[in-house]
Structure formats: structure tokens, C-alpha cells
Structure 1
Amino acid sequence: MTDVEKKVMVRLCAKILTETKLYDTDMEVRNLIDWICVSEQIKANNNTIRNLTGEYKKIEPDCREGVRTQLERMKELCKERNNLYEKQNDLKGQKQKIEKSLER
């Protein structure tokens, strides 16, 4: 059944229901209509999920690459900081030696 055929059938059913009290009086009719409504909500949710997943998959590689770049920069910063700490300790040692020699 094509989408157009489905739409025509749904419109026909809706027209029949608005002109009669079938939805209120016939439990099978109510269940069939409720089933159609729930099925359409499920389809809509699945389409939204697919769209969100597609968007996520488009964005993910760039994010991962950005994170990878940032992690590399963080490693560089930590290495530079550690080198400066070592230099600081060396300088403090030199300073203490100079201070000791000045005390004499």
C-alpha cells in the first residue's frame, strides 16, 4: 500500500468515525484506532532516533579529533610545566648555594 493510499484510508476512517459513534461504542474499532495512533508515534520516534543518530555520527569524528588535539596539547603543557618545575628546583638549589657562600 502506498503512502497516498494509506492517507486516503485514514481520512476515510476518520470521516466515518466523526459521523458515527463507533469509537465510543465498538471496543474493536477503538483498539484498532489506538493501535494505528501508537504505531504512528513509534514510527515518528524511530525517525527522530535515526535523525539524531545520523547527526551524532556526523559530529562525532570531529569531536574525537578535537579531543585528541586537546589531549596532545595538554600533554605538551604538562611536559613544559614539569620541565619548569625541574628548572625551578635547580634554581632554588643554586640560590641556596649562593646564600650559603654569602653567609661566610
Structure 2
Amino acid sequence: MTDMEKKIIVRLCAKILLETDLYDTDIEVRNLIDWICVSEQIKTNNNEIRKLTGEYKQIEPKCREGVREELERMKELCKERDRLYEKQNNLRGKRQEIERVLE
């Protein structure tokens, strides 16, 4: 499925939800929509993790030369990456719970 198709599906779901009470009354609809939202959060987190890792790799050589400012930024990047990994694990757990309900 292309990104455009995914966006259209999400927009369609949002439109249906605005016009109906399906999200509140149908647990399967709620779980399907929650699964889509959690999956998108995982994708966004993965992109951010890759971005932070790329920046880290660019900074690392300078750090080895003894640049203190770069070292501090690396520490910040590691903390943020670790926070995102933790969030990612929580999101995966939530998605697995939703998948179990959908089965």
C-alpha cells in the first residue's frame, strides 16, 4: 500500500468517525483505528531513531578529537534515543494487545 493510499484510508476513517458514533459503540472499529494510530506512531519513532542515530554518527568522529560540546550533544542524543526506544517498546506492546483482541 502506498503512502497516499494510507493517508486516504486514515482520512476516510476520520470522516466516518466524525459523522458516526462507531468509535464509541463498536469495539472492533476502535481497536482497528487504534492499531493504525499506534502503527503510525511506531513508524514515526523509527524515523526519528534513524535521524538521531545518523546525527550521532556524524558527531562521533569530532568527539574523538576531544570536542566537549559534541560529547554533550551525543549524550543528549543517546538519552533521547533511549527514551524513544522505551516508547517504541510500549507502543509495540500496545499494538500486540490490540492484535490479540482483533484475532
TM-score (norm 1): 0.61
Separation in structure 1 between the aligned mates of residue 5 and residue 34 of structure 2, nearest angstrom: 20
Matches of 1:56 and 1:12, distance apart in 2: 39
Alignment RMSD: 1.1
Question: Rg: which structure is higher?
Answer: 1
Q: 2:19 and 2:3 mapped to 1: Cα distance?
A: 24
Q: Looking at both structures, which has the greater relative contact order when contacts are Cα pairs under 8 Å and sequence separation is at least 6?
A: 2
- Map 1:14-53 onto structure 2 (within 5 A): 14-53=14-53
Please state how far the C-alpha of 1:66 moved relative to its aligned partner: 2.8
Amino acid at match of 1:57: K
SS in 2 for 1:66: coil
Distance in 1, matches of 2:11 and 2:36, equals 13
Give the gaps of 5 or more residues in structure 2.
68-103
Give the match for residue 99 of structure 1.
none
**Which runs of at least 4 in structure 1 moved beyond 6 Å after TM superposition?**
none
Unaligned runs of 5+ in 1: 68-104
Fraction of identical pairs, as percent = 84
Task: Determine the C-alpha separation between the residues in 2 that align with 1:3 and 1:59.
Answer: 32
Alignment correspondent of 2:2: 2
Letter in 2 for 1:36: I
CA–CA distance in 2 between the matches of 1:46 and 1:16?
29
2:61 corresponds to: 61
* CA apart distance, 1:42: 1.1
Cα distance in 2 between the residues matched to 1:36 and 1:8: 13
Given residue 6 of structure 1, which amino acid in structure 2 is its aligned partner? K
Question: What is the identity, as a one-letter code, of the residue corresponding to 1:46?
Answer: N
Cα displacement string for residues 1-20 of structure 1 (whole angstroms, at most 9, x for unaligned residues): 11111111111111111111
